[in-house]
Amino acid sequence: MLPKCSPTSYEFQSLTGLQNLAETHRFKAWFLDQFGVLHDGKKPYPGAISTLEKLATIGAKMVIISNSSRRASITMEKLKGLGFDPSLFLGAVTSGELTHQYLQRRDDTWFAALGRSCIHITWSDRGAISLDGLGLQVVENAQEAEFILAHGTEAIGLSNGGARPMSMEDLEKILEDCASKKIPMVVANPDYVTVEARALRVMPGTLAAKYEKLGGEVKWMGKPDKIIYKSAMAMAGVDAFESIAVGDSLHHDIKGANTAGIQSAFITCGIHANELGLSNFGEVADLSTVKALSSKYDAQPSYILPAFTW
C-alpha cells in the first residue's frame, strides 16, 4: 500500500515515481503538461524521456495538453527539438490550437458573436504568433477594437503582422481602456506563470485575471477549463474514468482535472517548488505543506510525486 496523507476531505497518494501506478494499467490515457513536467523550456528534466518510453511500452496513450499559445504542430516540433520522440504521443492539444480553431470555425455561439477587429497582445522575444487564415484585422486601440486576443505578454501586434514591444504597465493601460468599452477578451494561454530554466515568467493568464478584475469578460481557452480535457479525451478515444492528467500547476492542471472529472498527478518540483520550500530537483515535499497548498488553490490531486520519473 502506498502511503497517504493524513485524512482530510480528500486523500492523495504520495509516490516516488510512476512505475507502480502505470503498471496497474488503470489508466488508458495519460494527459501530460509539458513545462514544469517534461521540460523547463530549455531542456528535458532528468528521467522524463525514459519515463515516456516506459509508459509507451506498457501501451499508454499519451497526449500533450498545454496552455501554450502556440499551435499544436509547433509544440510537437519544439518537443522534438528538445530530444523528445513525437511518435510516443498521439498528438497535442494546446490552448493556442483550440483558440485558432474556434476563431476560424466560429461555429460556437460566443465566437460567432465576435467581430473581426482585435487588439493582439503577443510575444516579442519569444516570437510573435501568426494570425494567418483567421480573417482578423489587428488594431492598436480600444476605439477600433471589437475584442482582445491575448497570446503573450511582451508586445502589441501591428497591422503589418509585426509586433511592438510593450511593458506590462502599458499593456494594462490598454486593458483599462478596453474594459471601459466592455470589449471581450480571448486568452490563448491561461497560465499565470510558467517555468523557464528554473525561473518563473509571466504568462497571459495574468493579464486575463487583471482584465476580469477590471470587469472585463474573458474566454479562457485552456486549463483549468474542461474544454481542453474534452479535446484530449476525444483524441485518445477514452472516457474520463480511463484518464489521468499529470501537471505541476494546482490551479490549472489539477483543478482542471477535477473539473473534467479525471484523476490527476501533481508534480511538486514545478511552478510551486518555492511555495513548497523545495530548492532541488526531485526533492520530496512535506505532505502537510502540499495539503495546505492544495486547499489554498481549491485543487485535489489524486497522487503527488516530486518529478515525472519512473
Over the stretch 255-290, which tens digit does the pLDDT of each residue have?
999 999 999 999 999 999 999 999 999 999 999 999
Residue 2 — very low, low, confident or very high, per pLDDT cuts 50/70/90?
very low
pLDDT average, residue stretch 39-45: 93
Angle at 32 between CA 75 and CA 67, to 5 degrees: 50
Residue 211: closest CA among 192, 197, 228: 192
The pLDDT value recorded for residue 121 is 96
Preceding omega of 224 cis (within 30 degrees of 0)? yes
- Cβ atoms of 118 and 145 closer than 8 Å: yes
Rounded distance, CA 32 to CA 270, Å?
Answer: 13
Alpha carbons 60 and 90: distance in angstroms, whole number = 10
Tell me the average pLDDT across 55-61.
Answer: 97
In sequence order, the β-bridge partners of residue 29 are 61, 243
pLDDT band at 10 (very low <50, low <70, confident <90, very high): low
**Confidence tier at 195 by pLDDT (50, 70, 90):** low
Long-range contacts formed by 192-199: CB under 8 A, 24+ apart? 192/251, 193/271, 194/35, 194/36, 194/41, 194/271, 195/35, 195/36, 195/40, 195/41, 195/248, 195/270, 195/271, 196/35, 196/40, 196/41, 196/42, 197/40, 197/41, 197/42, 198/40
Confidence class for position 4, pLDDT limits 50, 70, 90: very low
Check residue 8 and give its pLDDT. Answer: 42
Has this prediction a pTM greater than 0.85?
Answer: yes
* pLDDT tens-digit readout, 202-240: 889 999 999 999 999 999 999 999 999 999 999 999 999
- Give the pLDDT score at 5: 40
d(CA 104, CA 273): 38
Q: For 117-137, what is each residue's pLDDT tens digit?
A: 999 999 987 777 889 999 999
Mean pLDDT on 23-35:
96
What does the alpha-carbon distance between residue 167 and residue 88 come to, in Å, rounded to a whole number? Answer: 39
Instruction: Round the average pLDDT of the chain to a whole number and report it.
Output: 92
Query: Can you name the residues that pair with 121 across neighbouring β-strands?
Result: 150, 156
The model's pLDDT over 140-193, given as tens digits with 9 standing for 90+, comes to 999 999 999 999 999 999 988 889 999 999 999 999 999 999 999 999 999 887
* Mean of pLDDT values over 240-262: 96
The closest of 264, 262, 301, 298 to 285, measured between CA atoms, is 301
Q: How far apart are CA 185 and CA 218, in angstroms?
A: 5
Q: What is the pLDDT of residue 134?
A: 95
